[in-house]
Chains A and B, each alone.
Chain A
Amino acid sequence: MKKVAVMVMAAFMMSAAMPAFAQMTKEEKDQCLLASKSCMGEVSSIQQKMKKLNAEIKKGKKVYSAEELKKLQDKLKEAEDILDKLNTNN
């Protein structure tokens, strides 16, 4: 029984440690903005989202690959389009 308890505890610790580990290795990357992952609890206004995207894009190639930067730029364009659609009469 002790072995089972240790196994379960270890498994829990590993599962809890995984996201932290992922964040530690890529702490500069915002996975929520980049890939819509780990967005739990994130409620951003469209302006906040645009600010965050701009901040991430500014980090440039030190943090993101060219492909990832393009993805972030596309998301910024998408957010700008949403703001435009909200504001514009049609």
Chain B
Amino acid sequence: MRGATHARWAAGAVAVALAATACGGGSDSGGSGEAGIVSSSWGDPQNPLEPANTNEVQGGKVLDMVFRGLMRYDPETGEAQNMLAERIETQDSQNFTITLKEGWTFSNGEPVTAQSFVDAWNYGADVRNKQNNAPFFSDIVGYDDVHPASGDPTAKTMKGLVVKDARTFTVALDKKFSTWPDTLGYQAFSPLPKAFFTDHAAWLDKPVGNGPYTVDSYTKGTGMKLRRWDGYPGEDKAVNGGVDLKVYTDNNTAYTDLISGNLDLVDDIPAQQLKNVKNDLGDRYINQPALIMQTLTFPLYDPRWSKPGMEKVRRGISMAINRDEITRQIFRETRTPAKDWTSPALGEKGGFNPTLCGDACTYDPAAAKQLIQEGGGLPGGKVTLTSNVDTGSHRDWMDAVCNSINNALGEGPACTVNPVGTFADFRNQQSSYKLTGPFRSGWQADYPLIQNFLQPLYYTGASSNYGKFSDPQFDKLVDEANQEADPAQAVTKFQDAEKILAAQMPAIPLWYQNGSAGYAERLSDVALNQFSVPVYNRIKVS
């Protein structure tokens, strides 16, 4: 029995060791209901919270509260308005002089000067800093010196940025770009305080900016407490005391916390709850257009899809998709059937045109079948849709689109889906041009300009032109539009270019994605901006 006794002791010791590591944990840290503070759902930002490195909504939320740039998009109309800029002047749509307003400081007291912008932009462009948004500075003269396509940079600053005095600097672009000032509302163009460069690690732990809120505390992976900055010099002061962002593992969990009173605001209603949202929230539910567009892009690098006559097949597939029914039954109206290649959030003045796609985006199974036959049929009699399925309800709509196509063609399962497990895998397949059938392309605009919906996606050789669409006429019209000094004329030119898309159908417009949100009874004046981010500074807490 001695052996057994020893074993018992040893077993006990291992158990204690395992248990000891498990202890710890502390007290419950509040909940919602703190006076004047909005608690809101959040996701872990993918990248460190540097303005030029943040390209997704979760990090963007924080930057929108902590930073103000030269321009700001009106949360209702999407129009670019001067924020820190007093004026932006140009004679030739290529060289710009920017003058700042007086009286702006960072929340640590440091004044916001022309240098704050120039330093920030140089930092963002420099390839050594590995900022995701570096290409936003690529129009500036000298970008290639700090961000060469290969090899080490030859300069630390861009020649095109020159500080004239504390409140003035000039920007030289490498080509004409008339609507360039309107892009400056994007967060990558935010100014940065000196502390960002002198003590970078400390800044990342607790970012300091010039917006209506200051960061009170930031626990990575758990949440962030933001508080109203009473010394904020701008007009859009926060009307609440602050915002507590809480990281949720899942948007459904956040929704559960909302309806059980532990959370004030959820800015992404999970698809499976959309049916109950009226019941649970009544009119405390927002569903409004955002600058997000979903398309099915054809692999035009594959001759089977790009040979002459296939434009009829591509058009036929588009007409075989019953967008109305899918957006109603699968998405519960949180998507709107697409009628062009932009977004209703642009407004008709900004270039949205609900008639541009016309019949090609209207469900007509008979015409669809005929067009596909005229064009020579589906390549190999089959079409396979590809998308990542790790987020969103991609699986559901892909099945629905395929069923719609199959029902229209009536030839059995001609359309099948190819779900890809991770976004990274999908992106790698997409960017190595391996896909042989239409694939999902989601596009969230960086700024409310029609240019951003067309040029990066369909211009020959453009960065996100994954289908390798190329049309000289389209390229020519886009170039002309960019040089056009009059914004209205520019929009018309862009729409002319867009008509080529309607004729060629390199990508099928599926639907416009809305922003959705739900909020607690104690909140009022809740709204989403075009980027489907809540306009926090306007939220009132009772």
A, B: real partners: no
Residues on A close to B: CB < 8 A?
A: none
